[in-house]
Each structure stands twice: as C-alpha cells, then as structure tokens.
C-alpha cells in the first residue's frame, strides 16, 4: 500500500524552463511534507519542506505547493539548471511512537538538457 | 550539522552469509533509521530506533535485524543474505525534528 506516490518515474526539461514534479498521498494524518534530492552514489539531501497548515513555501528557485483537499503536492524549479539533474523524492511525515517517521515516494528522475 | 557515516560504500557478499552494515552519527541524535532504495520502489523503511537498545520494525523488516548498543551507532544485520537483498542501503538520523540526515549509502550485492 503506497501511501506516497510519485507517478512519473522520469522527467526531461530544457535548461532555463520550469520543472514540475508531482506527488500524491493517501494518509490525511501526514502533517509535514518534504522533498529530497539524490545524486548517484550519494545519500538524499533535504531540499525544501512545507507544513500542512500552509499551501506554499518558497526558497530561491524552489517552490513547493500543497493542495490538502486533493492530497497533492508539487515541486517547482525555475529556472532549471543542469545541476538540478538528480532523483527527487517526495516524503510525508507522521509521528509514530514519539519519532518522526518519513514515508517516501518512488522518486522522479529529473534530467535537465542544455 | 550532523554527519552520518556508513562504513562501506560497496559490498559483495555470498548467499547465506551474515552481513553487518554499520552506521555512525556524530551528534548524539536519538532517532536512527535504516532504509533500502530500489528502482521504482523508492526508499522503504526497514527498522528504526528511537533510543539505545530500542528498535521498531519498519515496513519491510523480514530478513533483517538491528542493533543499537550505543547512541551513535546503529547496525543493520542480514542474518542470511539472499539475492533479493541486493540493494542500496541508507542510514539516516534525526534529533526529532522533521529533517533527516542521510549517510552516503552502502551498495550491497549478494551473489
């Protein structure tokens, strides 16, 4: 039962254009959402997050949008740069036995073409 | 910032071997996690620990066990390695907030 889904395994975008990565979730108990970026042979690194009480969070070229009624979030990268080429994981947080437990999506491989 | 170190980047083991994957963090964080990453499946939680000697099963604990004797070290044990445990293994920790810090991962191949 995949509680967090990224339905696009891959995405290819021209340099300078906007990249939009999507994520859907099923559990309404999730209260915080995060995006991680992963390069090959490295661990994931935190990119941006959003609380369930907000609908938008912006950090430089990265913006995350949350639509709670649709249980959908998206990551916008603008303008896209070659260094953005990586796998992006969406994650949702729930507290379980006092620990924050993250549930991850399958990942989307983003390729930025020069 | 916390640093999470996984002892091996690449490992090749034989079917049936007992395998130990080590993870060490340098900031005394309480919560530590083991995930495996597989193409098309994302990151799946194997086990986590919220204190010394405390452990909780994640979503896919079968075939694995863990040990946390000291706060900074969290070990993942494959009791009898099988080919379907060939994967990228990622350790993470958090102080209790929302962000995890991950290690660089161990790519394990079981032949």
What DSSP letter does each residue of A3-41 carry, written as one string?
SEE---SEEEEETTS-EEEEEEE--TT--EEEEEEE-TT
A103 to chain B: which residues are within 8 Å by CB? 45
Give per-residue pLDDT as tens, A93-108. 987 766 778 899 999 9
Q: What is the DSSP string of A41-110?
A: TS--EEEEEEETT-SEEEETTEEEEEETTTTEEEEEESS--GGG-EEEEEEEEEEETTEEEEEE---EEE
Once rounded to an integer, what is the mean pLDDT over residues A9-25?
A: 97
pLDDT at B27: 86
For residue B1, what pLDDT is reported? 81
- What are residue A73's DSSP bridge partners? A23, A66
CB–CB of B52/B62 below 8 Å?
no
B42·A107 Cβ contact <8 A: yes
pLDDT of residue A109: 97
Write down the pLDDT at residue A1. 66
Q: What average pLDDT does this structure show over A35-60? A: 94
Question: What is the model's pLDDT at position A87?
Answer: 96
Residue-averaged pLDDT of chain A: 93
Q: Does A105 touch chain B (CB under 8 A)?
A: yes
| pLDDT one digit per residue (tens) for chain B, 111 residues | 889 999 899 999 999 999 999 999 998 888 999 999 998 899 999 999 988 888 999 989 999 999 999 999 999 999 999 999 999 999 999 876 677 899 999 999 999
Q: Which residue of B has its CA nearest to A31?
A: B98
Closest alpha carbon to A77 in A91, A88, A61: A61
A64-90: pLDDT as tens digits: 999 999 999 999 999 999 999 999 999
Chain B residues with CB-CB distance to A under 8 A? Answer: 4, 9, 30-31, 35, 40-45, 48, 50, 56, 90, 92, 94, 96-105, 107
CB contact at 8 A, B31 and A100? yes
């Amino acid at each position: 039962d995949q509680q967090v889904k990224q339905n696009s395994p891959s995405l290819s975008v021209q340099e300078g254009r906007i990249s939009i990565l999507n994520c859907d979730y099923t559990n309404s108990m999730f209260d915080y959402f995060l995006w991680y970026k992963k390069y090959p042979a490295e661990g994931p690194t935190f990119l941006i997050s959003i609380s369930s009480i907000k609908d938008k969070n912006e950090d430089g070229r990265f913006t995350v949008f949350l639509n709670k009624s649709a249980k959908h979030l998206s990551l916008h990268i603008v303008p896209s740069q070659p260094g953005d080429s990586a796998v992006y994981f969406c994650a949702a947080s729930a507290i379980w036995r006092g620990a924050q437990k993250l549930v991850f999506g399958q990942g989307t491989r983003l390729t930025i073409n020069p | 910032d916390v640093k999470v170190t996984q002892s091996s980047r690449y490992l090749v083991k034989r079917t049936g071997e007992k395998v130990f994957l080590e993870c060490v963090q340098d900031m005394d964080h309480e919560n530590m996690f083991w995930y495996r990453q597989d193409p098309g499946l994302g990151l799946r939680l194997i086990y986590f620990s919220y204190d010394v000697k405390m452990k909780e099963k994640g979503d896919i604990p079968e075939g694995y066990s863990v040990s946390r004797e000291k706060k900074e070290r969290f070990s993942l044990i494959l009791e009898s390695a099988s080919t379907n445990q060939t994967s990228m293994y990622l350790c993470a920790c958090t102080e209790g907030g929302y962000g995890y810090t991950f290690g660089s991962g161990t790519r394990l191949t079981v032949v």
